[in-house]
Amino acid sequence: MAKRLDLKAVDIFYGDFHAVQDVNLSVSPRSVTSFIGPSGCGKSTVLRTLNRMHEEIPGARVDGEVLLDGEDIYARNADAVAVRRTIGMVFQRPNPFPTMSIRDNVVAGLKLQGVRDKKKLDEVAEASLRGANLWKEVKDRLDKPGGGLSGGQQQRLCIARAIAVQPDVLLMDEPCSALDPISTLAIEDLIGDLKKEYTIVIVTHNMQQAARVSDQTAFFNLEATGKPGKLVEIDDTEKIFSNPREQATEDYISGRFG
Amino acid sequence: MSTATGLNSPERPATTPTFQAPSTGRKIKNNVATFLVGLAFVIALIPLVWVLATVVVRGIGAILSSDWWGKSLSGVLPESYAGGVYHAIYGTLIQAALAAVIAVPIGILAAIYLVEYGRGRLARTTSFMVDILAGVPSIVAALFVFAAFISILGAEQSAFMVSLALVLLMLPVVIRNTEEMLRLVPDELREAAYALGIPKWKTILRIVLPTALSGTVTGVMLALARVMGETAPVLVLVGYSQSINFDPFSGNMASLPLLMFSELSNPEPSGQFRIWGAALTLIGIIMILQLGASVVSRFSAISK
């Protein structure tokens, strides 16, 4: 559980378009790293390369190495499906499976991987829902559809679903941007709990959120539209928000642009 | 904005009320438009109601007669009011069912290919061919089956040949409809499944298809209802029989449209009686299918 991620000289392309240039960074286990930066700077793109999700877009391609505890997830015989089993993801908009009950949503990953043992599935469902701070709210309606929950509850359901397959790393792509402040707070608290067991990388547009939840912050920027995005700097969150090395970072976090 | 502050600000009291009744011109236009829309609706409704009412009035006697649902016309004289049409009902149902057994799996798999896998030239060609197939008249489909299977391959006329022609007519409807339904499934659900380490084929089978199920089933039912009334294939590809034939692979077999057509040459009033009865029966069967489709889609509808 909780493995280390290293990106070495990562370049990302969509067809001919060079989306992100030369990213080098490390994420240590049991920590939260947030990616911030203006829209279009490639932070979500980088996040999606961390579990090979970007491959779903035709023409996408990655150069360089993404190492999970030293193992390249882009090695020639590495199976993308196996990579995604190890590196889970939570999306911007809550997306529970509409045809499934709350319980089935949580254990969907295991069930579709062939786990049949009902007792084990029930245990995992409870443990994951507890882990996502949702158990108390839904324990009496586990057989109701997941779509009936509120937005914040749905997002926690999606987090429960992601941790039910016991990944080593959890990626979150703006997990709170569709939620109200109270639900956001619930998710942020949850992130604090989850980092005891998982390596977490989170993309956020909300700088206060980055400051609240993360140990380490990476600032991405792009020089101009059509140019590739770049990692400007990565450092301890405290340092980035108090005394960043780069002028661009300071301009961004102090609200002068972006 | 300016009117709101103008009304409330003490420095600039409103001299005339901001909100006035709609102008007469607008009222007239509004009423004319409402009238025209309503008129169009009524005009469109007239033929529908007329046809339905005529069929019900003239056919109700036949379908309520005691032997209608349980007997064939075997040995019934043309001028006699006896006998029933269960041989034709069986024919219509079995021909449509056989067509569905072939067309539905092929159609759904083709739609999955087009939506989930199809890229580039092959997908574009397939899509184009489906469009062309959708425009093929039923008589052409029937003649094609006649030429390919009966003239060239030497098969005999049978109900199964009719089913093959119906397959050609059902396929584009099933493909197009399933395609639409699959495209309605948000990509976010596919991504959610991939992110859990679920392989693509399982994502399609267990996440995408169940989500699109109700619409797909409705589409299949509608396609079935459509081909049941097709007349050209039964005229070209199978002979009429007054008695029941359970074997769709050989011999003559009646169906409701074929029965209606052959009774047209019966000069006795009982021929008219049977035609209207068969028409009402066909409409009834199709209506039951449509109702079934809406029940199925309500049952498996995604609860929000």
B118: domain CATH number?
1.10.3720.10
Q: What range does the domain containing B238 cover?
A: 87-252
Q: Which of residues 140-199 of A touch B (CB under 8 A)?
A: 145, 147-148, 158, 161-162, 165
Q: Name the more confident of A96 and B3.
A: A96
Q: Which of residues 199-238 of A touch B (CB under 8 A)?
A: none
- Tokens encoding B301: 């509808």
Predicted pLDDT at B208? 93
Domain count, chain B: 1
Predicted pLDDT at A107? 93
Q: How confident is the model at residue B75 (pLDDT cuts 50, 70, 90)?
A: confident
Task: Answer whether residue A207 is part of any domain.
Answer: yes
Residues 6 or more apart whose CB falls under 8 angstroms from that of A175 comprise A90, A91, A92, A155, A159, A187, A202
State how far the Cα of A233 lies from the Cα of A37, in Å rounded to an integer.
11
Residues 6 or more apart whose CB falls under 8 angstroms from that of A132 comprise A156, A157, A159, A160, A163, A190
- Residue B100 confidence (pLDDT) above 90: yes
Q: Chain A closest CA to B189's CA: distance in Å? A: 6
- Residue B6 confidence (pLDDT) above 50: no
Contact at CB, A91 and B191, closer than 8 angstroms: yes
Q: Which of residues 168-227 of B touch A (CB under 8 A)?
A: 186, 188-199, 202-203, 206-207, 210-211, 213
Task: Answer whether residue A129 is part of any domain.
Answer: no
Predicted pLDDT at B2? 46
State the average pLDDT for chain A.
Answer: 90
Task: Answer whether residue A126 is part of any domain.
Answer: no
CA–CA–CA angle A7, A8, A11 (5° rounding): 90
DSSP labels, B58-74: HHHHHHHSTTTTT---T
State how far the Cα of A100 lies from the Cα of A160, in Å rounded to an integer.
14
How many residues would you count in chain B?
Answer: 304
Q: Chain A closest CA to B82's CA: distance in Å? A: 51
Q: Is A57 in CB contact (< 8 Å) with chain B?
A: no
State how far the Cα of A164 lies from the Cα of B195, in Å rounded to an integer.
12
Task: Note whether A4 and A30 are within 8 A (CB).
Answer: no
Task: Answer whether residue A183 is part of any domain.
Answer: yes
Domain count, chain A: 1
pLDDT tens digits for range B38-73 = 999 999 999 999 999 999 999 998 888 888 888 888
Q: Is A106 in CB contact (< 8 Å) with chain B?
A: no
Task: Answer whether residue B160 is part of any domain.
Answer: yes
Q: How confident is the model at residue B14 (pLDDT cuts 50, 70, 90)?
A: low
Q: Is A116 in CB contact (< 8 Å) with chain B?
A: no
pLDDT tens digits for range A7-60 = 999 999 998 899 999 999 999 999 999 999 988 888 999 999 999 998 888 888
Predicted pLDDT at A258? 57
Q: How confident is the model at residue B110 (pLDDT cuts 50, 70, 90)?
A: very high
The burial of A199, by beta-carbon neighbours within 10 Å (0-12 exposed, 13-18 middle, 19 or more buried), is given as buried
Alpha-carbon torsion A210, A214, A220, A225, what sign? negative
Contact at CB, B197 and A93, closer than 8 angstroms: no
pLDDT tens digits for range B131-165 = 999 999 999 999 999 999 999 998 888 999 999 99
State the average pLDDT for chain B.
Answer: 88
A–B interface: beta-carbon pairs under 8 A:
79
Three-state DSSP class for residue A96: coil
Q: Is A243 in CB contact (< 8 Å) with chain B?
A: no
Section A143-169 average pLDDT: 91
Task: Answer whether residue A63 is part of any domain.
Answer: yes
- Tokens encoding B252: 């003559």
Residues 6 or more apart whose CB falls under 8 angstroms from that of B243 comprise B72, B73, B74, B75, B87
Q: Which of residues 105-134 of B touch A (CB under 8 A)?
A: 119
ipTM above 0.85, yes or no: yes
End-to-end, the C-alpha distance of chain A in Å comes to 36
Question: Minimal Cα distance from B118: which residue of A?
Answer: A58
Task: Answer whether residue A188 is part of any domain.
Answer: yes
pLDDT tens digits for range B214-259 = 889 888 988 998 899 899 999 999 989 888 888 888 888 999 999 9
Contact at CB, B196 and A145, closer than 8 angstroms: no
Task: Answer whether residue A81 is part of any domain.
Answer: yes
For residue A30, the domain's CATH number is 3.40.50.300
**Which one of B192, B210, B303 has the shortest CB-CB distance to A95?**
B192
Task: Answer whether residue B224 is part of any domain.
Answer: yes
Task: Answer whether residue B298 is part of any domain.
Answer: no
Q: What range does the domain containing A69 cover?
A: 5-95+167-253
Question: Minimal Cα distance from A83: which residue of B?
Answer: B197
Predicted pLDDT at B76? 84
Contact at CB, B197 and A165, closer than 8 angstroms: yes
Task: Note whether A49 and A62 are within 8 A (CB).
Answer: yes
Name residue B200's amino acid. Answer: K
Q: Is B29 in CB contact (< 8 Å) with chain A?
A: no
Task: Answer whether residue A151 is part of any domain.
Answer: no
Section A124-153 average pLDDT: 90
- Percent of residues, chain A, with pLDDT higher than 70: 99
Section B163-181 average pLDDT: 94
Helices A151-164 and A181-194 cross at an angle (nearest 10°) of 20
pLDDT tens digits for range A214-233 = 999 999 998 888 888 899 99
CA–CA–CA angle A91, A96, A97 (5° rounding): 125
State how far the Cα of B53 lies from the Cα of B50, in Å rounded to an integer.
5
Predicted pLDDT at B8? 54
Sort strands A169-173 and A199-203 into parallel, antiparallel or unpaired.
parallel
Predicted pLDDT at B304? 39
Predicted pLDDT at B9? 54
- Least Cα distance to A203 among A91, A95, A86, A93 occurs for A91
- Least Cα distance to B187 among B214, B168, B207, B206 occurs for B207
